[in-house]
Amino acid sequence: MSKDQPSSSKGPQEEPMTYTVCRTAAALEPLFSHDGEDRADSVLNGYPKTRHIIEALQVLIDTVIPGRMTHGDVDRDELGLFLVRRLSQAWRLLRPEIERAIPFRWRGAAAVMDGAPPASDARAESFTAMNAFYERMPDVRKLVVEDIKAAYEGDPAALTFAEVKLAYPGLLAVVSHRLAHELYRLDIPIVPRVMSEWTHSRTGVDINPGARIGHGFFIDHATGVVIGETCRIGNNVKLYQGVTLGAKSFTLDEHGRPVKHIRRHPTVEDNVVIYANAAILGGDTVIGRNSTIGGNVFIMESVPPNSFVATKHPELHIKTHDQGASAESDPIVK
């Protein structure tokens, strides 16, 4: 063999890619279930397509706030045609995924244990659900207009309504939630949660689609807000960043699983302001109307109407730079 000819033998680092890929695939394949049940190890066959759900949500947001998710002007004389096109596009994307989602009402472990009966015709029910959902769209639009006003009037930095509509992540989170919530009310599984989690990743706001929220809702700065499934929020409520409306702990059933469909999250009545990083927990906790909750408070009991809640002001300590080494024995100056 000439010294210039390549050797036919290969070391372990030169093993062909195809062999490694096939060996890995062969090891992975037994770890997936194909029996059609909703199990942790099952493949995604028959599951709703998340990409279509998210695309439909974006189109619906653009229907409620034209121009927020797409570029270009909407001619006033063609607004009706624009809405027809967008609603038709959303229908084509979303209706099949609702049909795919409906059977999961009885496929989940909790539903099986509760003896939930299967739906007779998921396809027919998906059309019924879409009709009911679209009938609610004008009411969603009315609520969103009130949310835009609340953001504009509640934030001195908002100079125009256009700024709120185009830029505010809190508004995007609320609009998305109002759409997902309507599907939640229609008992559509999976789809509303896919919508809410896309919104969570996009805005930093985590609102479970089950939360009930009144009109004129504003989340200022938005980032880090968490609102649980069974929250009830009244009208003209304002939250700042980092607020948590959560559960205390989970009641478990005889199998050690969390009990579902019970009140776990607080009620916030009308005209309440909750400042940054407050945590309010518990299904029996009620924040009375016209109350103000200060930042960084931790609440697990009800607050009467017209209250101001704050932690005890911490004692402030200041160390000056010119104290130098002499400050080591007493480094804090009050």
Helices first, then strands: H and E counts in the chain: 10, 14
> CA 237 from chain center: how many Å?
18
What's residue 313's pLDDT? 80
DSSP 230-280: T-EE-SS-EE-TT-EEE-S---B-TTSPBPPSS--S-EE-TT-EE-TT-EE
pLDDT by residue (tens digit) across 113-133?
555 566 569 999 999 999 999
**Residue 55: both structure tokens together:** 């695309």
- pLDDT greater than 50 at residue 242: yes
Residue 291 and residue 287: Cα distance in Å, rounded?
7
Question: In the chain, where are the structural domains located?
Answer: 37-205, 224-334
CB-based burial, 198-235: b 16+ in 10 Å, e otherwise: bbbeebbbbbbbbbebbbbbbbbbbeebbbbbbbbbbb
Phi, psi (degrees; rounded to nearest 5) at 18: -60, -40
pLDDT by residue (tens digit) across 16-38?
899 999 999 999 999 999 887 88
Phi, psi (degrees; rounded to nearest 5) at 293: -110, 120
Residue 220 and residue 91: Cα distance in Å, rounded?
32
- The confidence band for 327, taking pLDDT boundaries of 50, 70 and 90, is very low
Domain made up of 37-205: CATH architecture: Orthogonal Bundle (1.10)
pTM over 0.85: yes
Domain 224-334 class, CATH top level = mainly beta
pLDDT by residue (tens digit) across 193-223?
999 999 999 999 999 999 999 999 999 999 9
